[in-house]
Chains A and B, each alone.
Chain A
C-alpha cells in the first residue's frame, strides 16, 4: 500500500500547517520525518539530518505530539514528563526543572502532581504538548493537536501553538484535517491528498482563493446569478447555493443590494468555513 507518493516539499522555519483529509498521509509523513518509517524511495532531510541514518540525532531535536491517547494514566504529569525528558537525554535535575517549565507553559502547574488518569481531555492534550516541549526541541511535530477539544480549548491550544512558533523560536508543523483551524496560526500551508501534494504555499496566497461567500435564496436563483454576474462577480452555482469569491467587505453590500433590488427572499449569506475539500475544489476551478 502506498500512503505517500511523489511528494516533494520543503518547509521553511515558522509554523507550517499540514492539511489533508483523514487518510491523506499526514501521519505517515510525520513518521517518516521521525525516522519511524523508512521511505521506500526518495530523500528526507530534517534539521539538516537524514532520519533514516541519524534517527537518534533527529529524535533528540524533534518533539512529537501524537494524535492518539498516549499517556500513562497512573503517573502524575510531573513524573511522566520528567521521565520522558530523561529518555530524551536530559540530566535528572534538568529534566525535572524543564518538565515543570513545560507544564507551566501549557497551563498545567497547580495540577501537575495529580495522576493523569483523572485529567480532562483538554488537560491530557496539554500534557501531550508539554512532553513534546520538555527537551527543548528545534522542531515540533503536532498531529491533530486540537483533537477532542471544545471550542474554547481549541482556541487556547491554537494560541499556545502560535506562541510556541513565534515567541519560543521553535519551528512547528501542525497536522490537521481542518483548514480553518490551522490557517489562523500558520505562516504556510501544505495540503496533501491521497499521499500527493496538492499545494504548498504561503498562507495568504492560499486563502485569497478560498474565501467564498455562500448565498441562498428560496427562489429566483438564476435571476440573482445573472445580476451578480453583471456586477462583475465571479459567481459559481453549487446546487441551491451561489458561491461568490469574497474580494473585500464591499462584496457583502453588493450581494445584499442585488438581492434587495430583485426583491428575493434571502435565506442565508455567510462566509463559508474553509474545509480542505473546498480548498481542493476551488483549486480545480481556478486551474481548469
Chain B
C-alpha cells in the first residue's frame, strides 16, 4: 500500500476559513505541549520510562504514607515531610525533563518555526516554565491529595477533617514553592545549552554540588553562619522556608530568626531565574 516517497498526491487544496485564535490560545497550546512533553506523552515509549517511573515512586510513597497515617495517627508523617522526602527524586526529574523542554528546541533548530508564528518569545519561555512547574507540582502535590483523601474518608468527625484540611493546605503551598524554585533554576540552566547531557549535569550540579557548602557553613563556630547556611543551596533554601512556615517549634534550631530572609531569598531566586530566562530568549537566535 505504501506510496513511493516521491509521489505527490494530486488532490485539490482547500483554503482554511475557520477561526484563528489569539495569544491566550497560542500560549495555552505551548503550555499543554510542554506538560505533555514532561511526561513523555505524544512521544516514544522510551521518553515515557523515566517520568512514569518517578510518578510511580511518588504515588507509591504517597500510598504507603497514607496507610501509615491511617494505622498510626500519631506517626508524625506530615504533608510537608512527604515533600521533603521526595525532593531529591524531583531534582533528577527536573534534570531529565528541563533539557527535554528547552535544550531539545535549541538543538533541533525548531525555534525559528515558533518565532515565525504568532508566539512571542516571552510567552515561549513563560509557557515552558509553567509547564515544568506544573509537572513538578503534580509530582509533589497529587500524592498529597491522595493522602488527604484517605485521611478525610477515615476521619471520625468533622474536626479531624478540618485538621486535615489545615495540614494539606500548607503542604500544597510548600509543593508550589518547590515547583517554582526547581522549574526556575532547572529551565534557566537547560536554556544555556542545546546538549541535553550537559544541561542535565548542570542542573544536578546546581542542586547537589551546593550541599557541601551548606555542610561546611553549618559546622562553622558562628551561630549566625549556621543559621544562614541553608541559604546556599536551592533545596536547603526551600527547606528553610518550610521549617519557618510549617515546622513550628524546630525553627530556632535550624534557621534561627531568619525565616523571612529565607522566604525573601527564595522568591528572589525565582524572580531572578525568570528574568534571566527572559533575557536569554530575547537574545537567542531566531534562525
Chain A residues within 8 Å of B, Cβ to Cβ: 27, 31, 34, 36, 56-57, 59-60, 62, 64, 66-75, 79, 83-84, 86-91, 94, 98, 101, 104-111, 115, 120, 122-123, 131, 135-136, 152-153, 156, 159-160, 163-164, 167-169
How far, in Å, is B139 (CB) from chain A's closest CB? Answer: 22
Q: Which of B2-10, B145-153, B156-164, B182-190 lines the interface with chain A?
A: B2-10
- A115 contacts B3, CB within 8 Å? no
- B113 contacts A131, CB within 8 Å? yes
Counting chain B CB atoms within 10 Å of each CB, which of A70, A108, A120, A153 scores highest? A70
A169: nearest chain-B partner, CB-CB: B15
- B16 contacts A153, CB within 8 Å? no
Q: Which of B3, B8, B15, B109 contacts A69 (CB 8 A)?
A: B109
Q: Which of B1, B9, B287 contacts A66 (CB 8 A)?
A: B287
Chain B residues within 8 Å of A, Cβ to Cβ: 1-3, 5-9, 11-16, 18-23, 25-26, 29-30, 33, 42-44, 47, 104-105, 108-120, 286-287
Chain A residues near B26 (CB-CB < 8 A): 86-89
With A31-B287, A56-B23 as given contacts, are A98 and B16 in contact (CB-CB < 8 Å)? yes
Counting chain B CB atoms within 10 Å of each CB, which of A59, A90, A111, A156 scores highest? A90
With A60-B118, A72-B104, A79-B42 as given contacts, are A122 and B5 in contact (CB-CB < 8 Å)? yes
Number of A-B contacts (CB under 8 A): 137
Q: Which of B8, B14, B110 contacts A159 (CB 8 A)?
A: B8
With A72-B108, A136-B16 as given contacts, are A91 and B21 in contact (CB-CB < 8 Å)? yes
Question: Beyond the given A89-B25, A120-B5, A156-B8, could you list 15 further A-B residue pairs with CB under 8 A, ordered by the A residue number?
Answer: A57-B118, A60-B20, A60-B118, A67-B287, A70-B111, A74-B47, A83-B33, A84-B114, A87-B30, A91-B18, A105-B8, A106-B8, A109-B3, A152-B6, A164-B13
With A83-B29, A107-B5, A109-B3 as given contacts, are A135 and B20 in contact (CB-CB < 8 Å)? yes
How far, in Å, is B98 (CB) from chain A's closest CB? Answer: 15
Chain B residues near A89 (CB-CB < 8 A): 20-22, 25-26, 118
Q: Interface SS of chain B: helix, strand, loop or mixed?
A: loop
Q: Which of A64, A108, A153 contacts B113 (CB 8 A)?
A: A64
B285: nearest chain-A partner, CB-CB: A36
Chain B residues near A79 (CB-CB < 8 A): 42
With A135-B16, A160-B8, A167-B13 as given contacts, are A84 and B117 in contact (CB-CB < 8 Å)? yes
- B20 contacts A110, CB within 8 Å? no
A199 to B217, CA, bound (A): 71
A83 to B13, CA, bound (A): 21
Q: Which of A57, A91, A105, A120 contacts B19 (CB 8 A)?
A: A91
- A68 contacts B287, CB within 8 Å? yes
Chain A residues near B20 (CB-CB < 8 A): 60, 88-90, 135
A88: nearest chain-B partner, CB-CB: B117
A109 to B8, CA, bound (A): 10
Chain B residues near A111 (CB-CB < 8 A): 5
Chain B residues near A68 (CB-CB < 8 A): 109, 112, 287
- A105 contacts B13, CB within 8 Å? yes
Chain A residues near B21 (CB-CB < 8 A): 89-91
- A56 contacts B8, CB within 8 Å? no
- A88 contacts B118, CB within 8 Å? yes
- A71 contacts B110, CB within 8 Å? yes
A37 to B203, CA, bound (A): 33
With A75-B43, A110-B3, A168-B13 as given contacts, are A87 and B8 in contact (CB-CB < 8 Å)? no
